[in-house]
Amino acid sequence: MTLIEVRDYHYNPDRMDDYRRWAAEAGPWLRRRWDMSGFWVDCGEEGQLFGADPQPSPHGAANVTWTIRWSDRAERDAAWEALWEDDEWNALWERHPGFEGYRQLSVRFLEEVAPAP
């Protein structure tokens, strides 16, 4: 089974330049250690809402999204626990522009319904 972790962040737009600089270092560091399929930052285009009740979030659309592929939840949980014990990560995290900049973050898990051939 493959488990995809999707992490959506609503980071303070006034601090996105600082976040982008940090992400340019953090994204490649994480990719070298984890099976990250993507680490994206908002490009400035207006988002779109559709559906029967297209109400925007009070924080707007997420402006940072990561996706990580795991074999299962146990692998994921162990990797995240080990991350905070890694001296190199902690040094990188110290350069983060500020946790208080996160207005909201959400984590969800997806599994593939129809695997590719």
Q: Domain residues of the chain, as ranges? A: 3-43+60-110
| pLDDT class of 60 with cuts at 50, 70, 90 | confident
pLDDT score recorded for residue 25: 95
**What angle do the packed helices 16-33 and 87-94 form, to 10 degrees?**
170
Is residue 3 within 8 A of residue 105, CB to CB? The reply is no
The proportion of the chain whose per-residue pLDDT surpasses 90, expressed as a percent, equals: 76
Evaluated on CA atoms 88, 12, 106, 42, the torsion sign reads negative
Determine the topology of domain 3-43+60-110 in CATH: Alpha-Beta Plaits (3.30.70)
pTM for this one?
A: 0.87
pLDDT score recorded for residue 19: 95
